[in-house]
Every structure is written in C-alpha cells, then in structure tokens.
Amino acid sequence: MHACGHDVHITSLIGTAHQMAARKDQWAGTLVLIAQPAEERIGGAKLMMDDGLYTRFPKPDYAMAFHISADTPTGQLSIGEGIASSSSDSVDIIVHGVGAHGASPHRGKDPIVMGAEIIMALQTIISREIAPLKPGVITVGSFHSGFKHNIISDKAVMQLTVRSDDEDTRAKLLEGIKRIATNVGRMNGLPEDKLPKVLVSHESTPANYNDAALTKRVKGVFAARFGEEVFDNKPREGMGAEDFAYLVEPNTDVPGVYFSVGGTPQADFDREKAGGAPVPSHHSPFFKIAPRESVTLGTEAMTAAALDLLSKND
Ligand SMILES: [Zn+2]
Ligand SMILES: [Zn+2]
C-alpha cells in the first residue's frame, strides 16, 4: 500500500463539496476544489500550474490544503504562520569507476569506495557549512553498485533527498553536493571527463509558507468552531515537503494556508509511551490512521474555513 492517507484527503474533499453544496444559502462566491495528483513525488502541483490551473479555471483569492498526520492525535489540528513545510530536491549521483578483478584493485577505480567517501563527506555540509540555527537535511536513500564478491564494479548510483527552509540554504546544499562529489572523483585520480555526475531532478518543490493574515483568520475560525484545545502546538520536528507551495505565495500572488489533521488515536500514543508498539509513520507497512475521525475533522475544518472565507458579508 502507498500508506500516506491520501484517501482521507480525497474523501474529505468530497465531504467538503457535499457540505458546501448543502449550505449554498450561507455563502457567496466561487469554490474551486482541486484533486491534485502526484503530491507524493511532488510533481503534480507544478504540472497543474503549467497546465493553466489559474488561467483555465477561476484564480482563487485564497488557497487551502491539509494533510493527515500520523504524528498528531485524532481531534487535533496543527496550523502555524510562516514555514509550513520544507523545500525538497531529489538528487542522483552517478560515479563512473573502472572495473577490475577484486584481487587487483590497482588496475581499476573502485566506485564503491568513491561512493562511500562521497556519502561520508556529504555529512559535513549540514554540520560544518550551514549555520547551526538553519535547518537542512541530506539523506542518501539509495546506494547501488556491484555484482559479486570479487569484482570491482564500474559504476555506483546514489539517490538523495535534500531539504531546507529557504532558497539560500537550498542553493548552498545543492552546490555543496556537486562540489564534494566531483572533487572526490578528482581526489581518486579520475580524469576531468569522467568525474561523478550530479543530477537534480524535476521532482522538487520550494518551501511552503503560510500567509500570516490568512493563517490568523483560519485559526480563529477553527478556535470558534472546535475550541482552543483543538490545536496541537507541537513545533515541527522533521522536514516534510509539500508541492502545494507552487500554488501560493511567494510562487504565485495567492495567499495560502496548509495545516495538518490528527490521524492517530491518543490510545496508540499512550501504548507507545507505556513501552508498547510504536505509532507507525506514514509509508510504514503498519500505517494506520482512524478513518472516521480523520475524514470528519478534515471535512469539518475545511467547511468551516471555506464558509468563513466565502461569507456573504465579505
Ligand atoms: Zn507521503
Ligand atoms: Zn502525502
């Protein structure tokens, strides 16, 4: 299974459509519902924008979206001004070595050793080159090379995800990866035309910002509808990314707000705390959120916000 909860998102989208249609006398304006594909590979939003989302269809005054969160208890919403999610870039590093017999390493250039050197050297970009109070992540999620115990391979391929909260850091991380990979090649005596290649994929997104005024307004709506205790005020810990960024400021002139809806029953957190099985994360084969609570709160929150933003008095 894909296990990210996108079925909750689509069901809540349809639920919101139902709720808004049933209350047509309570609001005025145009509601655009976007069923965006490929959020996971962060490619869908950009493709929809390139395809004329804001020119072929009504361009909104505000944009809103949410993601279900396995890290947040059911019944809770997580919403804050400013940075809502990080930038993400997928990077491939291809190391071309020279194959040889494993017993005669001097006859080759070992791409596994060079790949390992690159991976270890990459760790210093975050720890030594980025200011300590600026967040960043470089994760090597895949490293493939070789066939057999006694053969030096001629190629190694690494796949990385790179995260940051601002464009300046993002550029520094990508530049650092390129510099380290190519110079590890030089260090190992590879000729200039055979240095490791660093490819940044089109599957990428800038950081996603919540507009301050819109966030305040929507937060006020949630507080009035569900009470202040609905907010889970835990600060961000990881550097998740969302391509919703392409739909909102500063990448368009549409103010946006992105929030999370709690998906895990409190009892599951209590069980983990008591030494029981941990709460499974998104994309874990054990991912399990409470469907009814998730869809209900997602739908109610979206409907309450939409009714306020489309209120007849505005
Ligand atoms: Zn996901
Ligand atoms: Zn997702």
Q: Nearest ligand, CA of residue 6?
A: 2
- Rounded Cα distance between 226 and 300, Å, is 9
As annotated, the residues of the chain forming the CATH 3.30.70.360 domain(s) are: 87-205
What is the SS3 assignment for 3? coil
CA dihedral 242, 20, 61, 314 (to 10 degrees): -140
Would you state the pLDDT for residue 202?
A: 86
Of 3.40.50.2000, 3.30.70.360, 1.20.120.400, 3.40.50.300, which CATH number belongs to 87-205? 3.30.70.360
Ligand 1 centre distance from Cα of residue 6 (Å)? 8
Question: Could you tell me where the beta strands, DSSP code E, fall in 53-86?
Answer: 63-73, 77-78, 82-85
Taking the model in full, what pTM does it have? Answer: 0.90
How many other C-beta atoms are found inside a 10 Å radius of the C-beta of residue 308? Answer: 17
Would you state the pLDDT for residue 313?
A: 77
- Rounded Cα distance between 278 and 202, Å, is 35
**Closest C-alpha among 9, 13, 26 to residue 67:** 9
pLDDT at 280 over 70: yes
Of 3.90.76.10, 3.40.630.10, 3.30.70.1450, 3.40.50.720, which CATH number belongs to 6-85+207-282+289-307? 3.40.630.10
Ligand 1 centre distance from Cα of residue 99 (Å)? 38
Would you state the pLDDT for residue 314?
A: 63
Over the stretch 136-148, which tens digit does the pLDDT of each residue have? 999 999 999 999 9
Instruction: Say how many residues make up the chain.
Output: 314
Cα dist from 286 to 76, 95, 281, whole Å: 22, 35, 8
Q: Nearest ligand, CA of residue 283?
A: 1
- Secondary structure (DSSP) of 218-272: HHHHHHHHH-GGGB--PPP-S--B-GGGGGSTTTSS--EEEEEEEEE-HHHHHHH
pLDDT at 242 over 90: yes
